[in-house]
């Protein structure tokens, strides 16, 4: 048998338990939900911006890789310019900005072996977007360095490169065009590509080449 005093203590403990074991109020539930939503939003934002930054970094790396690929191809071909009777180098400024047309003889063709004429210029696709185009033709040909030559078959060289500038000279790049039979001492090439930060803005990638191989034939 429990005494009256024991029952009294038991009743007090039960009342204290009921007081501390009551459920959450609506206000407390709303606060918890709000904090949970805030944490989820911050976590999602961090993941989103991290993913977006990684995607931009990958795109920039791929763009730089393609520009470097074109640079090495042009550099190797110009270094191996072939010297022959008559002109071996020809360049004319286009009617629009960054629209030079560059032609020269080289023994480093892309698609065939031997010596041939190659050309680089900016053309527009069916949607009107400019890109760098390439052509080559085995030497000799009837119309050397002829602009708009129907024999030329232009292939897309790079969608990233939107403009081409070429300059010539020894120390200062003072000549904008080259029509002489002599081999230029130095060739400055600028490839223009579209900026990632501002649509329509072109950024330059410039390099200077010294034609180093002169083949007589």
- Residue 38: the pLDDT is 83
- Residue 74: the pLDDT is 93
Of 68 and 37, more confident: 68
Please name which of 116, 190, 119 lies closest in space to residue 157, comparing C-alpha atoms: 119
| CA–CA dist 170, 184 (Å, integer) | 8
- Residue 9: the pLDDT is 47
Please name which of 171, 164, 169, 172 lies closest in space to residue 182, comparing C-alpha atoms: 169
What is the pLDDT averaged over residues 71-77?
Answer: 93
- Residue 14: the pLDDT is 47
- pLDDT > 90 in the chain, percent: 37
**DSSP bridge partners of 203:** 193
pLDDT at 217 over 50: no
| CA–CA dist 65, 155 (Å, integer) | 19
Do the beta carbons of residue 55 and residue 48 sit within 8 Å?
no
What is the pLDDT averaged over residues 35-63?
Answer: 73
What is the pLDDT averaged over residues 38-64?
Answer: 73
- Residue 196: the pLDDT is 77
Range of the domain at 97: 1-217
Of 168 and 148, more confident: 168
pLDDT at 213 over 70: no
pLDDT at 169 over 60: yes
Q: What is the mean pLDDT of the chain?
A: 81
The domain tally of the chain equals: 1
Contacts of 211 (CB under 8 A, 6+ apart): 78, 79, 81, 89, 183, 184, 187
pLDDT digits (tens, 9 = 90+) for 3-44: 555 445 455 554 544 555 556 677 777 888 888 888 888 877
| CA–CA dist 184, 174 (Å, integer) | 12
pTM (predicted TM-score): 0.71
Of 53 and 134, more confident: 134
pLDDT digits (tens, 9 = 90+) for 98-146: 999 999 999 999 998 889 999 999 999 889 999 999 999 888 777 778 7
Do the beta carbons of residue 121 and residue 133 sit within 8 Å?
yes
Please name which of 143, 94, 138 lies closest in space to residue 116, comparing C-alpha atoms: 138
- Residue 22: the pLDDT is 58
- Residue 139: the pLDDT is 83
């Amino acid at each position: 048998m429990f005494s009256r005093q024991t029952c009294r203590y038991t009743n007090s403990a039960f009342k204290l338990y009921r007081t501390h074991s009551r459920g959450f109020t609506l206000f407390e539930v709303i606060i918890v939900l709000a904090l949970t939503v805030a944490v989820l939003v911050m976590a999602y934002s961090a993941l989103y911006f991290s993913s977006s930054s990684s995607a931009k970094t990958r795109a920039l790396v791929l763009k730089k890789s393609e520009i470097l690929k074109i640079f090495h191809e042009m550099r190797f071909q110009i270094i191996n310019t072939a010297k022959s009777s008559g002109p071996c180098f020809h360049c004319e400024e286009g009617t629009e900005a960054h629209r030079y047309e560059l032609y020269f003889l080289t023994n480093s063709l892309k698609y065939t072996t031997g010596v041939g004429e190659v050309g680089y210029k900016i053309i527009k696709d069916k949607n009107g977007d400019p890109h760098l185009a390439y052509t080559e033709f085995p030497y000799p040909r009837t119309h050397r360095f002829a602009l708009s030559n129907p024999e030329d078959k232009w292939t897309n060289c790079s969608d990233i490169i939107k403009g081409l500038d070429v300059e010539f000279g020894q120390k200062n790049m003072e000549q904008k065009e080259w029509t002489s039979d002599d081999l230029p001492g130095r060739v400055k090439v600028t490839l223009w590509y579209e900026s990632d930060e501002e649509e329509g803005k072109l950024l330059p990638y410039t390099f200077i080449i010294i034609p180093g191989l002169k083949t007589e034939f």
